[in-house]
Amino acid sequence: QVQLVESGGGLVQAGGSLRLSCAASGRTFSSYAMGWFRQAPGKEREFVAAITWRVGSTYYADGAKGRFTISRDNAKNTLYLQMNSLKPEDTAVYYCAAKLYVTTPQGMAASQLYDYWGQGTQVTVSS
């Protein structure tokens, strides 16, 4: 079993920055990859970014490219999402997720292929 705990959410003005963290614990952590997803009220959960745990290959949704940076600290079993130039439309609950098995690059954005999920952290961007 893998436990994921997100932190770092909050209220920020448009144009501001936040850094989300996701601490992983439980059995020996050997996920293939981890990702960030978000869900705004009344909308479906959507992919934000993902990173392979060993190599560090990164994948981004179009809306995240150039503004968000995903990274990980293998020694600390911690995933990060640095979010800059935040917009009101970035307001959502942000979830981290862990994927145990290899998948295609397209599969990195598929929430149904992730095996473990955190409880989420709220990000609110005011205009």
Average pLDDT, the chain: 94
pLDDT in tens, 94-106: 999 999 888 888 8
DSSP lists the bridge partners of residue 63 as none
More confident: 96 or 2: 96
> What is the pLDDT confidence band of residue 26, given thresholds at 50, 70 and 90?
confident
**Which of 16, 12, 1, 2 is CA-nearest to residue 96?**
2
Evaluate the CA torsion angle 48, 54, 25, 104 in order and state its sign. Answer: positive
Is the pLDDT assigned to residue 117 strictly greater than 90? yes
Question: For position 54, what pLDDT does the model report?
Answer: 87
Is the pLDDT assigned to residue 29 strictly greater than 80? no
Distance between CA 45 and CA 17 in Å, rounded?
22
**CA distances from residue 81 to 22, 28, 65, 70 in whole angstroms, order as listed:** 9, 23, 12, 5
